[in-house]
Amino acid sequence: MGTNVAIEYGVGLVALYVESAIDGYSRTFFL
């Protein structure tokens, strides 16, 4: 367990957040 693991975990969380945000936007604007 080093900084690389923490960085990868953080990047994964950010990617998930961005993905869900894009999904929410597309649902809002492209119904």
Higher-confidence position of 29 and 16: 16
Higher-confidence position of 1 and 8: 8
pLDDT given for residue 31 in this prediction: 57
* Furthest C-alpha separation in the chain: 44
d(CA 15, CA 20): 9
- Whole-model pTM over 0.85: no
d(CA 16, CA 3): 20
